[in-house]
Amino acid sequence: MKTKSIYLLRHGETDLNKNGRVQGRGVDSSLNEAGRIQSNLVSNHFSSIPFNRFYSSSLIRTRETLSPLSTSAIALEGFDEISWGDQEGAEPTPEAKKMYADTINDWRNGKLDRSIGGGESPLEVMKRQKPAIEQVLNNDDGQILICMHGRALRILLCWLLNYPLNFMDGFPHQNCSYYSLDYNGSSFSLKEFNVTHHLNNG
How far apart, in whole angstroms, are the C-alpha atoms of residue 182 and residue 186? Answer: 10
174 has pLDDT over 70: yes
Contact 25, 59 (CB under 8 A): yes
Report how far residue 25's alpha carbon sits from residue 195's, in angstroms, rounded to the nearest whole number.
Answer: 24
Confirm if 153 and 10 have CB atoms less than 8 A apart. Answer: yes
Burial label for 24, CB within 10 Å (0-12, 13-18, 19+), is buried
- State the Cα–Cα distance between residues 180 and 157, nearest whole angstrom: 10
- Map out the domains of the chain as residue ranges: 4-200
- Three-state DSSP at 175 gives coil
Q: What is the pLDDT of residues 114-162, one digit of tens each?
A: 999 899 999 999 999 999 999 999 987 799 999 999 999 999 999 999 9
From the list 85, 74, 196, 89, the residue with the least C-alpha distance to 147 is 74
Binning pLDDT at 50, 70 and 90, where does residue 96 land?
Answer: confident
Q: Please tell me the pTM assigned to this model.
A: 0.95
Task: Identify the CATH number of the domain defined by range 4-200.
Answer: 3.40.50.1240
Name every residue whose Cβ is closer than 8 Å to that of residue 180 and which is 6 or more positions away in sequence.
Answer: 5, 6, 7, 8, 190, 191, 192, 195
